[in-house]
A and B are shown apart, each in its own frame.
Chain A
Amino acid sequence: GIQVEQSPPDLILQEGANSTLRCNFSDSVNNLQWFHQNPWGQLINLFYIPSGTKQNGRLSATTVATERYSLLYISSSQTTDSGVYFCAVRASGTYKYIFGTGTRLKVLA
């Protein structure tokens, strides 16, 4: 089955810093999403981005489907950005979502 790897596994930033999170996947996908799990455990949709580039405020994401990776950019990080960031993919022709193991981000004030 499709493999999903996220890097780095852990990241500590000072408030105001920028960061890039990466998601690599091993097969073609027709669905890729980024989620933020906040410290209370809620999973928040960030981007639905099977291909291309999207931006939402300080966050942006790019998926290069032909090269099988996606990047999540966080600019001017804030303490509220802390939590775990997951990418989830669905391989073409399947119904099942495969989640990466996540990047745990801690932003220090």
Chain B
Amino acid sequence: EAQVTQNPRYLITVTGKKLTVTCSQNMNHEYMSWYRQDPGLGLRQIYYSMNVEVTDKGDVPEGYKVSRKEKRNFPLILESPSPNQTSLYFCASRRRDRGSENTGELFFGEGSRLTVL
């Protein structure tokens, strides 16, 4: 089954304790990205990756790191989590565009609900 898998789905942690949210896709997609969703602010992009070893900042990258060492994996790292990073996080992936009229459909993981105390 084609899917994007995130772990953990739920996490409660404390300020300053490093954590990693993993994301893996089995569709051989080139593009992967991370979003956070907060009430009243909608979905905001944190980081994205166009392919292995190619990453770039989205709208809200502060306090986050990513890496793309393998095509299928795109972990989100919070080096020193703070309470303002309490949020619902989504990983997404799609294949690369094949021309301007042949773009890929974006697929989301099930979400990771993170609480930082």
Interface residues of A (CB under 8 A from B): 30-31, 33, 35, 41-43, 45, 48, 50, 86, 88, 90, 92-93, 95-97, 99-102
Select A50's contact among B31, B103, B107, B110, beta carbons within 8 Å.
B103
Contact A33 B103, beta carbon cutoff 8 Å:
no
Chain B residues 72 to 115 lying within 8 A of chain A, measured CB to CB, are 88, 90, 97, 100-101, 103-108, 110-111, 113
Contact A99 B101, beta carbon cutoff 8 Å:
no
Inside 8 A of B103's CB, which chain A residues have their CB?
30-31, 50, 90
CA of A30 to CA of B90, assembled, Å: 23
B48 within 8 A of A: yes
Contact B42 A97, beta carbon cutoff 8 Å:
no
Chain B residues 18 to 36 lying within 8 A of chain A, measured CB to CB, are 31
Contact A45 B107, beta carbon cutoff 8 Å:
yes
Inside 8 A of A43's CB, which chain B residues have their CB?
90, 108, 111
Inside 8 A of B50's CB, which chain A residues have their CB?
95
The number of residue pairs between A and B whose CB atoms lie closer than 8 Å in the complex comes to 44
| Majority secondary structure of chain A interface residues (helix, strand, loop or mixed) | strand
Contact B48 A41, beta carbon cutoff 8 Å:
no
B-side interface size class:
20 to 34
Inside 8 A of B111's CB, which chain A residues have their CB?
41-43
What are 25 pairs between A and B in contact, CB < 8 Å? Answer: A30-B100, A30-B103, A31-B104, A31-B106, A33-B105, A33-B106, A35-B108, A42-B108, A42-B110, A42-B111, A43-B90, A43-B108, A45-B105, A45-B107, A45-B108, A48-B105, A50-B103, A86-B43, A90-B103, A96-B45, A96-B58, A97-B106, A99-B43, A100-B42, A101-B42
Given the known inter-chain contacts A41-B88, A41-B111, A43-B111, please indicate yes or no for A97 contacting B105, CB distance below 8 A. no
Given the known inter-chain contacts A33-B105, A43-B90, A48-B105, please indicate yes or no for A92 contacting B100, CB distance below 8 A. yes
